[in-house]
Amino acid sequence: MNAALAATGAPGAEFTELETESIDAAVEAADRAEQLREVFAAELAGPARPTTPARLSAEARHCERQVLDLVARVQLEPEPVKSPRHQRAARARWDRRNKANEARVGPRPVSVVQ
């Protein structure tokens, strides 16, 4: 992940604390999945117990999915910069709405849905 972050070319880019925790959890889940695969292989080579390989396989798949979900939380691309023009337009809309709300006196009308 550090190599992927360095490959983005963003100077001084670092993972946030949440991203670091996600990476650590993904590493642990990947290690757990590898251990489960080893036990699964040993179980297939040993006596035939039909439920154990199925449970091990399901747990390994769960760990692999967890790794994908945790890695997906990590942002390698910087967030796009908001356009100043669009920010001004949005601010103008909010200011108009706030000004209209401040001009109202008394309770707001209740709309009835039929």
Domain boundaries, the chain: 27-75
For residues 103 and 80, what is the distance between their CA atoms, to the nearest angstrom? 36
Tokens 């103008």 -> residue? 92
* SS3 of residue 99 by DSSP: helix
Higher pLDDT, 73 or 59: 59
Tokens of 53: 């390989």
CA 69 to chain CA centroid, Å, is: 6
Helix or strand (DSSP H, E) at 17: helix 17-45
Give the model's confidence band at 51: pLDDT under 50 very low, under 70 low, under 90 confident, else very high. confident
SS3 state at 50 = coil
pLDDT of residue 88: 92
Q: Judge contact between 59 and 34, C-beta under 8 A.
A: no
Report H helices in 46-113.
51-72, 84-103
Give the model confidence (pLDDT) of 64-112 as tens digits: 999 999 988 887 776 667 888 999 999 999 999 988 888 777 666 677 7
